[in-house]
Amino acid sequence: MNVLIIGGGGREHALAWKLNQSSMVEQLYAIPGNGGIAEIAQCTFLPPDDFPALIRFVREQDIDFTVVGPEQPLVAGLVDAFEEAGLPVFGPNQAAAQMEGSKIFAKRLMKKYGIPTADFAEFDDYTRASQYLKTLPEGPVVVKADGLAAGKGSIVCQNKAEAEAALNALMRRRVFQAAGARVVIEECMSGPEVSIFAITDGRDYLTLTPAQDFKRALDNDQGKNTGGMGSYAPTVYLSEEDFQRSIREIIEPTLNALQSEGITYKGVLYAGLMLTESGPRVIEFNCRFGDPETQAVLPLLNYDLMEIFQAVRWQELGKIRLPESGRSAVCVVAASDGYPDAYKIRKLILGIEQAQQKALVFHAGTMRDNGGMRTSGGRVLGVTGVGDSLASAREQAYRAIERIRFVGMFYRKDIALEASQV
């Protein structure tokens, strides 16, 4: 099969790496891909929202199957456009992608079907939202833009003054444009966070190894929120009992709720959960694989990913049983000075080959140029170690990342540190 991957981050490199191992896959393509993906796939640039151009490309290149990495094209309806054109594709359609595209949609669904999540109120009017805020007791509260905001639309506020400032930024200053036209104000929960990926064909589902993501830029969860500075799997904070409880109280009821609403969800449903004192509760849903969780989770998958994607297409996922991996993976992200704010690009990256002798190196913001690999983004590489224990996976990842150098490179030193000592 000729398989196209849409996207160009570390997640997409991990998807390409895994699909490249499938005996079903002959040639990989990527739009736009990156410097690492280009080593195993033919990369082309096309605007990801130009569906007619993408469809033309798929027909011209005889592509048999397309896998969509990021949320934007899913929320914009890429899958609907491809299905109308009769082209096989992995990912939820526009109606299903609302699980990520609209926080209000997801919150209403959870409320209607009794799925545990933070209590909330929704607003499309700044004055009303601000008045409601005044009625709340002083303390932490979370303000969220309804729409997509590149992972920055959830603002955890320590007090009401911060929450008021967040409301003002989202609803009046429209810092995330239309995404802030509606907001959710919700209860602030606390506890460890875990990411569960359920692959579903609209009838059955499989879960991958639960992972943990490190969102803050600096060690000890200091600094700004980022797209994710590292990840590991399986997470030690989710006991088998809590995992089963999450499946029973969250994953299955959510998939059933979608069916009851007449939505056939095909693709990955990513549940971001918080393990609170009253049990696992939903922070948010995403309609795709996590980044950088995928870079830790796919190396633990002992199954042909293309076969899984085909089973989703034909609604035959019920026939697949995934073997337990029994191993652990740790992914550490190498980022460029300034990230998550402004950063320089085109910096020469050295040491990738040495690092690859010890671990998997997934490219995120890289491009090949004048014979060398250069940076092209804020998150540059994700280095994944795999081992029989979390501690050995961690050691491999860190030994490998130490070999990599570029000007202004930084990475967290504490990815999976606490977890490996539990």
- Residue with smaller CB distance to ligand AMP, 146 or 186: 186
Which of ligand GLY, ligand AMP, none lies near 290, with the C-beta cut-off 5 to 8 A by kind? ligand GLY
Q: Are 91 and 288 in contact (CB under 8 A)?
A: yes
The amino acid present at 82, given as its one-letter code, is: F
Question: Binding to ligand AMP by residue 4, rule CB under 6 A?
Answer: no
Q: Are 289 and 233 in contact (CB under 8 A)?
A: no
List 12, 193, 201, 293, residue binding ligand GLY (CB under 6 A): 293
Which of these ranges, 83-91, 148-156, 228-236, 390-398, lies near ligand AMP under the rule CB under 6 A? 148-156
- Residue with smaller CB distance to ligand AMP, 51 or 120: 120
- Residue with smaller CB distance to ligand GLY, 129 or 333: 333
Q: Where are the beta strands (DSSP E) in 119-266?
A: 120-123, 141-145, 154-157, 183-187, 193-200, 205-207, 212-213, 216-218, 222-225, 230-233
- Residue with smaller CB distance to ligand AMP, 149 or 360: 149
Helices 305-313 and 10-20, interaxial angle, to 10°?
100
Evaluated on CA atoms 286, 411, 9, 235, the torsion sign reads negative
Q: How far is the CB of 71 from ligand GLY (least distance, A)?
A: 8
Q: Who contacts 28 (Cβ-Cβ below 8 Å, separation ≥6)?
A: 2, 3, 4, 5, 16, 19, 20, 40, 41, 42
Question: Binding to ligand GLY by residue 291, rule CB under 6 A?
Answer: yes
Q: Who contacts 76 (Cβ-Cβ below 8 Å, separation ≥6)?
A: 49, 94
Which of ligand AMP, ligand GLY, none lies near 100, with the C-beta cut-off 5 to 8 A by kind? none
**Touching ligand AMP, residues 275-294 (CB under 6 A):** 283-284
- Residue with smaller CB distance to ligand GLY, 29 or 197: 197
Which of ligand AMP, ligand GLY, none lies near 189, with the C-beta cut-off 5 to 8 A by kind? ligand AMP
Size of the residue set binding ligand AMP (CB under 6 A): 14
Would you give the binding string for ligand GLY spanning residues 132-171, x where CB under 6 A is met? Answer: -------------------x--------------------
Which of ligand GLY, ligand AMP, none lies near 178, with the C-beta cut-off 5 to 8 A by kind? none
Q: Are 24 and 304 in contact (CB under 8 A)?
A: yes
Which of these ranges, 83-91, 290-298, 362-370, 371-379, lies near ligand GLY under the rule CB under 6 A? 290-298
Question: Which region, left, alpha or beta, applies to residue 313 given φ > 0 means left and ψ of -120 to 50 means alpha?
Answer: alpha
Chain Cα centroid distance, residue 266: 16
Q: How far is the CB of 179 from ligand AMP (least distance, A)?
A: 12
Strand partners, 154: 144
Question: Binding to ligand GLY by residue 213, rule CB under 6 A?
Answer: yes
Q: How far is the CB of 263 from ligand AMP (least distance, A)?
A: 21
Give the residue closest to ligand AMP by C-beta.
154
Residue 41 structure tokens: 């796939």
- Residue with smaller CB distance to ligand AMP, 88 or 272: 272
Please give the Cα distance from 168 to 245 (Å, whole number).
38
Which of ligand AMP, ligand GLY, none lies near 201, with the C-beta cut-off 5 to 8 A by kind? none
- Residue with smaller CB distance to ligand AMP, 184 or 312: 184
Q: Note if the bond before 292 is cis, omega within 30 degrees.
A: yes
Helices 94-101 and 103-112, interaxial angle, to 10°?
100
Q: Who contacts 269 (Cβ-Cβ below 8 Å, separation ≥6)?
A: 92, 99, 197, 198, 200, 205, 251, 254, 255, 285, 286, 287
Question: Binding to ligand GLY by residue 100, rule CB under 6 A?
Answer: no
Q: Which residues sit at the interface with ligand GLY, rule CB under 6 A?
A: 151, 213, 228, 286, 290-291, 293
